[in-house]
């Protein structure tokens, strides 16, 4: 199965889910992006690493890095391998010099660790087809998450909030497509992901 390499584009505050954030991953050799809803603690940990900041004491993901380095365990790559009912599932591919193991992890934790170990993040074409959003050429997101929420709110790592998307059911397909493009142009990836899922749901029904 071919792997698609992803990069972390940035983090934005969730418009609909209090205490949550939208983490945006972008295809390295393409124009598709995946928004993933993460909790405040995980968003803070990712944002700190993106900004190159050094906390006075190690955060949980820093502790994991220090622990792994002390015992000569390397994180080779992160694989986002499954998308089920809007929830992403990831694996950490680890190596201690003798054995290579795959460890189950929440996607937000996996990405926070990938940034610290400086290892690649991969997903599959199937997941990109289902969850990817194509950004109109010329549009770029520049904001990196710098908000520092202290509440450890931990929703599942999902492509859209658990909040109902009933509001989109009364629109036609053409209206949804126009709304999707507007959301993408405004870099509102969270809303775009919900509209995209409604469109995909209709295609599969």
Residue 118 lies in a domain: yes
What is the chain's percent helix, strand, coil content, to nearest 5? 35, 30, 35
Residue 44 lies in a domain: yes
Give the pLDDT of residue 78.
98
Q: What is the pLDDT of residue 15?
A: 66
CATH code, domain with 37: 3.10.690.10
Asked if 88 and 130 count as a contact pair (C-beta separation under 8 A), the reply is no
pLDDT score at 32? 94
Q: Is residue 17 one of the residues assigned to a domain?
A: yes
Cα distances (Å, whole numbers) of residue 191 to 13, 18, 25, 38: 12, 14, 15, 15
pLDDT at 189: 62
Residue 28 is predicted with a pLDDT of 95
Domain that holds residue 97: 3-162
Query: Which stretches of the chain score pLDDT less than 50?
Result: 137-155, 161-164
The greatest distance separating any two alpha carbons of the chain, rounded to the nearest whole angstrom, comes to: 57
Nearest to 131 by CA among 16, 37, 39, 18: 37
Tokens read off for 137? 């050429």
Strands 133-134 and 121-124: unpaired
User: Is residue 202 one of the residues assigned to a domain?
Assistant: no
């Amino acid at each position: 199965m071919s792997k698609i390499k992803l990069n972390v584009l940035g983090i934005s505050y969730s418009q609909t889910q209090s205490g949550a954030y939208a983490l945006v991953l972008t295809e390295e050799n393409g124009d598709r992006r995946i928004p993933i809803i993460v909790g405040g603690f995980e968003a803070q940990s990712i944002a700190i690493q993106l900004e190159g900041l050094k906390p006075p004491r190690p955060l949980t993901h820093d502790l994991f890095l220090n622990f792994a380095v002390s015992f000569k365990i390397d994180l080779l790559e992160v694989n986002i391998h499954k998308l089920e009912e809007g929830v992403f599932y990831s694996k950490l591919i680890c190596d201690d010099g003798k054995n290579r193991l795959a460890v189950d992890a929440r996607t937000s934790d996996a990405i926070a660790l990938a940034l610290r170990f400086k290892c690649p993040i991969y997903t599959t074409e199937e997941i990109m087809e289902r969850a990817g959003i194509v950004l109109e050429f010329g549009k770029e997101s520049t904001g990196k998450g710098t908000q520092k929420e202290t509440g450890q709110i931990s929703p599942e790592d999902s492509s859209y909030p658990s909040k109902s998307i009933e509001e989109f059911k009364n629109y036609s397909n053409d209206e949804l497509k126009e709304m999707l493009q507007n959301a993408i142009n405004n870099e509102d990836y969270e809303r775009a992901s919900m509209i995209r899922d409604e469109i995909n749901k209709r295609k599969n029904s």
